[in-house]
């Protein structure tokens, strides 16, 4: 087994994954560099969510390897994967799953409090992120009192507030209209860049991939197109250089 390159925060090789016998990934190899904003595009059903799930330790792979910071993820137990997700990863899905009993500010402060932050620091960070996401006015309201697009902005604030090393975003702008999509993606990408977070963004809309440093495309469970899977090793250095990687 060869070790992943040092500057890749995530590294996957030959991932195969099926859902109840339906193949979703058919041998995906990919490296994500530390601090990179990477977009994974592809049509509906091409395997984007499954790839994000495998990279973010939500789903165990059927075959292949996934590494995070040079440590294997594919060999972790379920509890180990859960710990990794809780401690190191942030996640924004296409539906905002907020705690209904908590206000917006409490929802955003929650991961910080669980990570051991003091009450004052957690609440002031939460207020700051709500402001950045343009939903300060929602701070003391509960999810049921808000519209879907406000809830989604709060979910984005909650994912970013603890500044996890890697944020996974699976079609995060699905509930938003076009202008808000651009604003939220701009905030996600700029927060990632200013805090040196790695952002892995899945979207079926190639337009939205313009916020990324690099885009890879999935079709039918395979990486395709002009942007090939990231290769490593001496022989690959020239190929990657030509491809601007
Ligand atoms: N829980 C599941 N059970 C059965 N099949 C599934 C499941 N999740 C995904 N699939 C199938 O796996 C394949 C890849 O799905 P996946 O959701 O990863 O694609 P996607 O590119 O993210 O699609 P979308 O853009 O619609 O979210 C599809 O054929 C899909 O129907």
Q: Which of 116-120, 175-179, 209-213 has the lowest mean pLDDT?
A: 175-179
Backbone φ, ψ for residue 215 (5° rounding): -125, 135
Domain assignment present for 114: yes
Region 210-226: mean pLDDT is 89
Query: What is the per-residue pLDDT for 99?
Result: 97
pLDDT above 70 covers a percentage of the chain that reads: 90
**Residue of minimum CA distance from atom 11 in ligand 1:** 24
| For residue 129, pLDDT beyond 90 | yes
d(CA 166, CA 10): 9
Question: How many domains are there within the chain?
Answer: 1
Domain assignment present for 33: yes
d(CA 65, CA 201): 20
Domain assignment present for 3: no
Question: Domain range for residue 164?
Answer: 8-242
**Residue of minimum CA distance from atom 8 in ligand 1:** 19
Q: At a CB cut-off of 8 Å and minimum separation 6, what does 1 contact?
A: 65
**Per residue in 20-41, pLDDT tens?**
999 999 999 999 999 999 999 9
pLDDT above 90 covers a percentage of the chain that reads: 73
Centre of ligand 1 from the C-alpha of residue 147, in Å: 27
Domain assignment present for 148: yes
For the chain, how far is it from start to end, CA to CA, in angstroms? 23
State the CATH number of the domain containing residue 227. 3.40.50.300
Q: Is the CB of 177 under 6 A from ligand 1?
A: no
d(CA 187, CA 190): 5
DSSP state of 232: -
**Residue of minimum CA distance from atom 1 in ligand 1:** 19
Q: Is the CB of 53 under 6 A from ligand 1?
A: no
């Amino acid at each position: 087994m060869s070790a992943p390159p040092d500057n890749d925060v995530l590294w996957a090789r030959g991932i195969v994954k099926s859902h109840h016998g339906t193949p979703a990934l058919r041998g995906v190899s990919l490296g994500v560099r530390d601090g990179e904003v990477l977009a994974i595009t592809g049509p509906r059903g091409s395997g984007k969510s499954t790839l994000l799930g495998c990279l973010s330790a939500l789903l165990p792979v059927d075959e292949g390897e996934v590494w995070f910071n040079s440590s294997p993820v594919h060999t972790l137990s379920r509890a180990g994967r859960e710990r990794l997700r809780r401690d190191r990863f942030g996640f924004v899905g296409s539906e905002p799953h907020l705690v209904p009993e908590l206000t917006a500010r409490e929802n955003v402060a929650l991961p910080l409090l669980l990570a051991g932050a003091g009450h004052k620091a957690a609440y002031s960070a939460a207020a700051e992120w709500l402001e950045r996401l343009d939903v300060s006015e929602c701070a003391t309201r509960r999810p049921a009192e808000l519209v879907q697009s406000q809830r989604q902005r709060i979910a984005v604030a909650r994912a970013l507030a603890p500044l996890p090393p890697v944020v996974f975003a699976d079609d995060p702008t699905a509930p938003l209209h076009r202008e808000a999509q651009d604003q939220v993606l701009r905030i996600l990408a700029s927060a990632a860049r200013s805090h040196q977070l790695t952002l892995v963004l899945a979207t079926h809309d190639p337009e939205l991939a313009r916020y990324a440093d690099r885009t890879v495309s999935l079709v039918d469970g395979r990486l395709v197109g002009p942007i090939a899977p990231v290769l490593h090793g001496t022989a690959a250095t020239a190929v990657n250089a030509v491809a601007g990687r």
